[in-house]
Amino acid sequence: MAATRFAAKIAGMTKASGVFRIGTGAGFSSDRLDPAVDLARRGELDVMVLECLGERTIAFAHRDRMADPRRGYNSHLERRMRALLPACKAAGTVIVSNMGAANPRAAAEKTRDIARDIGLTGLKIACIEGDDITALVSPATPFMDEPGTVADIHRPIVGMNAYLGADAILPALEAGADVIIGGRLADPSMYLAPLIARYGWRDDALLGAGSLVGHLMECGMQITGGYFADPGVKDVPDLAACGYPIAEVSADGSAVITKLPKTGGRVSAATVKEQLLYEVHDPAAYLTPDVTADFSRVDVKEIESDRVRVTNAGGRARPQRLKVTVGFDAGFLAEAGVSYAGPAATMRGRLACDVVRERLASVYGIDTNVRVDLIGASSLFATAGASGNDSEDVRVHAALRTTDREQAELMLWEVESLLCCGPAGGGGFRGQITAAVETKSLLIDRALVKPTIEMLVS
Amino acid sequence: MSVPGRNERRLVRDIAHARAGDKGNTSNINVWVYDPADYGLLKRTLTAERIEREFPNLVRGKVTRYEIDHLHGLNFVLRDSLEGGVNASLNLDSHGKSWSYLLLGLTLASDA
């Protein structure tokens, strides 16, 4: 991976002060767009990553694609690309994204069409495929971290995707892509690949350092003050105008996490530490397709206001097998609610819950995979056994998982019947039935997974 | 403020902050003290055994505690603690994102 092989685009980067600047312009499928446009315009970025895929997001995307072969990619892709392509092109910023979800091809073609439509000709859009490995997995394949095999789930499979690493993304960078779109690109790998392209990293410790940058950045504002504010103990300035993060990464693997001036939010040792171990189990062994990263000795230091330096990540050999997410059709989730307020609202709400439970069981035989909570008294922490003080504004919330649409509809009907047949003063019925998916994880030999790249030009 | 047992009514939230994440049916919760001087108190307060004992109906599996001493924080891994996980849970918060506040709502260990 000699530096001479890099496309001029990446090799010529490192704009400001000898560091490589990567920004996050989305940290989940429904993340905000306006702060991403601000970052694209003012951030002087080398790369902007749009991370838009979770385990369930991709399963729902497969369902979308089954319903319409032209869909199955992120539903905000068109809005995002229309807003970001001009600014990123003007700034020479490469976009890397997994917005392709279950249909990277359609996402890349849509992006090319948008580029043409807004007058950006000659834009190179790399489409990465090969993560959909449904044809490669036998029904006898065991699940990861739990008993059972694929064959044990007697529900239709909606899709299977292997997590692709930096090695799947690198050739697109070397070929000079302006936009790189894939499906199940692993979150940290979208950050690591440009760093490998820029700095030629091969050592596991450096791959671990680059993966730390990706891990810290991949959830967007969760490191700049989003998902952090707790008034009185953890205040965040101007949360409504929170800015997306920027990582200034040096050749030695150290990085400074920061954000644009004149944006809301904050970057502090505390915001960085909360994200450091977000969704991490053993801090010394964080597995990615690229490396077994070690975050256990990472140092976190505030060097200026809204600038935090992270150093000392480590790494060991990458796992031999790649993680795969399998999605199954799981029928429906039905939810319905009615509210009570004023004196003795909690007592009236509890009575309503009892009536719903009793009648679902006795009239409809619905007594499994159903739950009735009283929001305001006991809901999120009901199983944990913690409940707050009696509230004078509560809401019955019933939830049912079923593969039988009829049962889902009957549950909604029963809750709505509280309006005339339940305790006094109930109001505000709402009910909805949504499609449900079940996801499981398994492992596949990485030699079986063969990513491909095709370059589209607008 | 210096009488023994003064911490009986104080909560973990008074000295620490936390974030929860999910993977399958496993929750992980990282907890960090604001003031390094409180790290010993946090370690005495939040033990794996206490978390198992406080929430027996929710936390059905083993709790593992990782200590990140140089950053004054703890990372807890709670197996079988998400009511089946995001695929199966009937909890409104099927990811258990709010579990961080289960730990922050516990009372601090006594200094006495």
Q: Do B91 and A379 touch (CB under 8 A)?
A: yes
Nearest CA in chain B to A441: B24
What percentage of chain B's residues is helix, strand, coil (to nearest 5)?
A: 30, 25, 40
Whether chain B has a CB inside 8 Å of the CB on A280: the answer is yes
A338/A390 Cα distance (integer angstroms): 17
**Based on the number of CB atoms within 10 Å of its own CB, is A218 exposed (0-12), middle (13-18) or buried (19 or more)?**
buried
Q: Looking at chain A, which residue has its C-alpha nearest residue B20?
A: A278
Handedness of CA A109, A113, A115, A121 (dihedral sign): positive
Distance CA A275, CA A222 (A): 7
Decide if A51 contacts A187 (C-beta within 8 A): yes
pLDDT, tens digit only, all 458 positions of chain A: 333 334 445 655 554 468 999 999 999 999 999 999 999 999 999 999 999 998 889 999 999 999 999 999 999 999 999 999 999 999 999 999 999 999 999 999 999 999 999 999 999 999 999 999 998 999 999 999 889 999 999 999 999 999 999 999 999 999 999 999 999 999 999 999 999 999 999 999 999 999 999 999 999 999 999 999 999 999 999 999 999 999 999 999 999 999 999 999 999 999 999 999 999 999 999 999 999 999 999 999 999 999 999 999 999 999 999 999 999 999 999 999 999 999 999 999 999 999 999 999 999 999 999 999 999 999 999 999 977 778 999 999 999 999 999 999 999 999 999 999 999 999 999 999 999 999 999 999 999 999 999 999 99
Residue of B nearest to A279 (CA): B21
Of B25, B90, B102, the CB nearest to A401: B90
For residue A329, give the nearest of A161, A160, A155, A143 by alpha carbon.
A155
Q: Which of A277, A273, A299, A274 is nearest to A286 (CA)?
A: A277
Q: Which residues from B are below 8 Å from A296, CB to CB?
A: 66, 68
- The span from the CA of A95 to the CA of A177, in Å, is 9
CA distances from A376 to A36, A230, A340, A344, B71 (A): 36, 19, 10, 13, 36
The whole-angstrom distance between A58's CA and the closest CA on chain B is 14
- What SS3 state is found at A446? helix
Are A230 and B17 within 8 A, CB to CB? yes
CA of residue B46 relative to chain centroid, distance: 6
User: Cβ atoms within 10 A of the Cβ of A18, count?
Assistant: 9
Query: Does the beta carbon of A330 lie under 8 angstroms from any beta carbon of chain B?
Result: yes
Locate the chain B residue with the closest alpha carbon to A371: B90
Q: Are A94 and A173 in contact (CB under 8 A)?
A: yes
pTM: 0.94
Question: Of the candidates B13, B21, B55, which has its C-beta nearest A278's C-beta?
Answer: B21
Q: Do A227 and B19 touch (CB under 8 A)?
A: yes
DSSP label at A3?
G
